[in-house]
Structure 1
Amino acid sequence: MLRRAQHAVLALVMVSTGAVFGVTVTAGTAHAASNCGQPITGLPLQQGSQGTSVERLQIRVAGFVDSGEVLSTDGIYGGRTKEAVRKFQKQYGLQADGIAGSQTVDKIYSLQDSDCTPIHFSYAEWNKCNSNWSGGAVSATAAKANARKSMWKLEALRAKTGGGAIQISSGFRSNSCNAAVGGVQGSRHTYGDAADMPGTQARRCQLHNGAKSSGFREILGQGFPGHNDHTHVGMTGSRQWHGC
């Protein structure tokens, strides 16, 4: 709620500034500030498109997949990317044609903050271990990138499960932080792509089941040893779904 309030205050300041100085604040101007320095260009992007913009798009729609599917973020706009875009568009009331035009990209921009994380999640809540993302199973840069990709999947999960808040009780852990809380050796938390989500049993099971079609391979919840108070999602080589 605090992050939404901050967005609202910023919007009012922008409008007020435009009124006082006679500056017209257009939709394009507002969205330009929301591309977080990683604009999605070359629109429309569609099946056959390739490049960095496709990869940026794929990261943001990777949570809109079939059950058990993990969307590749390879910068190649294939049939699975088209289907993920179509599901994203349908979720947000856009024309569901699987083509990423200006309306689709504008919607993506409206869902992200200036650091490229989705509006309902942050690096700070994902990393309560240390400030520099170091000491895990991968480099600090890789851990932070993994976290951002996972946040976008949770943004999709949040939308698909009614828009209710998702709390993160544990995200990235360095190896030492992981050992301190009794985490298993090689935990996906040390890679930055895992998160634990507490809540009521009903909510945890809702998130557990929704995560199956949100691009996660590792889903551990109610009934799995050590997971009766949270649902854990992460990435791993082979699929592991337990609980609920």
Structure 2
Amino acid sequence: MPRLRSLLAALALTLPGAVVVTAATTAPAHADECYSWTRNLSSGASGADVAELQVRVAGWAGYGVNMGIDGSYGPQTVAAVRNFQSAHGLGPDGVAGPATYAKIYALQDADCTPAHFSYAEVDGGCGAGGYSGGSVPAAQVKENLKRAMWRAEALRQRMGNVPLTVTSGFRSQACDRQVGGSGTGQHTYGNAIDLVGASFCSLAQNARSNGFGGIYGPGYPGHDDHVHVDIRAGRSWSAPTCGI
């Protein structure tokens, strides 16, 4: 959409009698319709813009690190930005500036979801759709799902951009009970997604380095045909077949 606006503006300048729409000059320059950073960020910075950055790089904080989204640019955020930069061919200085933002813009859609995952594939299960009836309000469910999807995007990149498919995302409490859950599990918060599309053991093993507090895979009851990952605080990993 931003590229289309720019093209139309340029075309208008070349046509006799054309009216130039000045709003086009203020359109986003990149795929940043959902959020634009206006300053460089580095160690010691704080604010809502740091939190937005953390959402997008939390999957790169390191092995076993489930980074909090707290708006404070501390050592974990520095490490996450460095690893993100390295993974995408940028100089790993740990400072978020134009090149880092450009890569983030290229990776995200206008609704702030990452390029290879969408709300459509993680919304309510059991045929219900939507984000209501969970353990937190619908707005928080969607925010949690966005955070989980960005970590899944990092996992996908780590695995060589192998396509991954979500088989289950948010579940209402009623849906969670219907499929045999407790009714209050991580899926009811929007924290969890179930993945297929690659070796399950490879998924589970790599997920340990992409910011997931919960990982359940082959060898854990009911998880031989997918890998469950979630963004809970703390750590609960179990995929015995895979040595986890």
Match of 1:34 in 2: 31
Instruction: Write the letter of the residue equivalent to 2:181.
Output: G
- Please report how far the alpha carbon of residue 196 of structure 1 lies from its aligned counterpart in structure 2 after TM superposition: 0.7
After superposition, the Cα gap between the structure-2 partners of 1:133 and 1:22, relative to the gap in structure 1 and judged at 3 Å, is: same
3-state SS of paired residue (1:168): strand
Which whole-Å CA distance do the structure 1 matches of 2:56 and 2:121 have between them? 19
Instruction: Write the letter of the residue equivalent to 2:175.
Output: C
Assess if the C-alpha contact under 8 Å between 2:135 and 2:188 holds in 1.
yes
Query: Is 1:242 matched up with 2:238?
Result: yes
Calculate percent identity across the aligned residue pairs. 43
Instruction: Write the letter of the residue equivalent to 2:228.
Output: H
Which whole-Å CA distance do the structure 1 matches of 2:28 and 2:151 have between them? 22
Match for 1:70 among 66, 73, 96? Answer: 66
Larger Rg: 2
Q: How does 1:179-190 map to 2 (within 5 A)?
A: 179-190=177-188
Query: Is 1:21 matched up with 2:15?
Result: no
TM norm structure 1 = 0.86
Q: Deviations over 1:163-218 (max 9, x none)?
A: 01110000000011112222233211001010111245xx2111111110111011
3-state SS of paired residue (1:197): strand
Match for 1:57 among 29, 53, 61? Answer: 53
Instruction: Write the letter of the residue equivalent to 1:116.
Output: C
Match of 1:81 in 2: 77
Assess if the C-alpha contact under 8 Å between 2:2 and 2:30 holds in 1.
no
Query: Is 1:205 matched up with 2:201?
Result: yes
Which whole-Å CA distance do the structure 1 matches of 2:161 and 2:211 have between them? 18
Which whole-Å CA distance do the structure 1 matches of 2:70 and 2:2 have between them? 35
After superposition, the Cα gap between the structure-2 partners of 1:99 and 1:137, relative to the gap in structure 1 and judged at 3 Å, is: same
Instruction: Write the letter of the residue equivalent to 1:242.
Output: S
Match for 2:122 among 115, 123, 126? Answer: 126
TM norm structure 2 = 0.86
Which whole-Å CA distance do the structure 1 matches of 2:44 and 2:209 have between them? 24
Match of 1:228 in 2: 224
Instruction: Write the letter of the residue equivalent to 1:37.
Output: C
Q: How does 1:75-224 map to 2 (within 5 A)?
A: 75-129=71-125, 130-199=128-197, 203-224=199-220
After superposition, the Cα gap between the structure-2 partners of 1:183 and 1:160, relative to the gap in structure 1 and judged at 3 Å, is: same
Match of 1:7 in 2: none
Structure 2 spans left out of the alignment, 5+ residues: 15-24
Structure 1 spans left out of the alignment, 5+ residues: 1-9
Match of 2:42 in 1: 46
